[in-house]
Amino acid sequence: MRALFSPHGTVERLALINDRDTGRPRGFGFVEMSNEDAARAAQALNGTDCEGRALKVSEAQQRDRSVADGRGPRRY
């Protein structure tokens, strides 16, 4: 992933997510770049093929972990 994103700017951090039970890749990850570099990378890479799969490149959204992991109160 670093080689794929780095032509569009400096990759500050990269995290590929694995399933905690099986250790197998979950099929997504996070690439941290400056806002300008990230916008350029998203524009260039979204929808492109990577090892037979179309990439979906979008900005990560902050989530409330206490609700998302089931430990906190549910809000409807």
Domains of the chain, by residue range, sit at 2-55
Question: CB count, 10 Å around CB of 1?
Answer: 14
Which band of pLDDT confidence, cut at 50, 70 and 90, is reported for residue 62?
confident
Cα gap 37→34, rounded to integer Å: 5
CATH code for the part of the protein at 2-55 = 3.30.70.330
Helices (H) and strands (E) in the chain, counts: 3, 4
**Global pTM exceeds 0.85:** no
- Answer for the pair 41, 57: CB distance below 8 angstroms, yes or no: yes
> Does the pLDDT at position 20 exceed 80?
yes
Find all residues with CB under 8 Å of 3, minimum gap 6, and list them. none
Q: How confident is the model at residue 72 (pLDDT cuts 50, 70, 90)?
A: low
Model confidence at 54: pLDDT above 90: yes
Asked if residue 19 lies in contact with residue 29, where contact means CB atoms within 8 angstroms, the answer is no
Q: What's the pLDDT at 48?
A: 96
Residue bearing the bigger pLDDT, 16 or 67? 16
